[in-house]
Amino acid sequence: SARLMCTAALQKDLGDIVKKDKVVVFMKGTPAQPMCGFSNAVVQILRMHGVNEYAAYNVLDDQDLRQGVKDFSNWPTIPQIFLNGEFVGGCDILLQMHQNGDLVEELQKLGIRS
């Protein structure tokens, strides 16, 4: 069906999207105006680490994207963070990586000094 082809195309697009930039975030709202506390937490953590250049996609703009990214990463919630094309997790995981120092290390691997 057309719907199924669309879904397949979106999954392929998502594969490209997460590799296009070193840091990719799927969130509710935008970094300038997060629409959910969890998405806001991700924005604040990245800001604390001096990560200002990252790709942010607003899932509230696109219901297909909202469901598509959940299917793509097999993860039920938003926000979602990708580093170097790899799925890292949601807000809880990023927060714990921030607290235990893993995030600094991961960003260093990408050439981002926090």
- Report the interface residues with another protein, using CB under 8 A: 38, 74-77, 87-93, 96-97
Classified as helix, coil or strand, 67 is helix
> At which residue do the structure tokens 């997460």 appear?
18
Q: Exposed, middle or buried: residue 61 (CB in 10 Å: 0-12, 13-18, 19+)?
A: exposed
Based on CB atoms, which residue is closest to another protein, 33 or 52?
33
Closer CB to another protein, residue 77 or residue 108?
77
Strand partners, 80: 26
Which SS3 state, helix, strand or coil, does residue 60 take?
Answer: helix
Considering the complex, what minimum distance in angstroms separates the CB of residue 5 from another protein?
Answer: 25
CB of residue 89 to another protein, shortest distance in Å: 5
Of the pair 75, 104, the CB lying nearest another protein is at 75
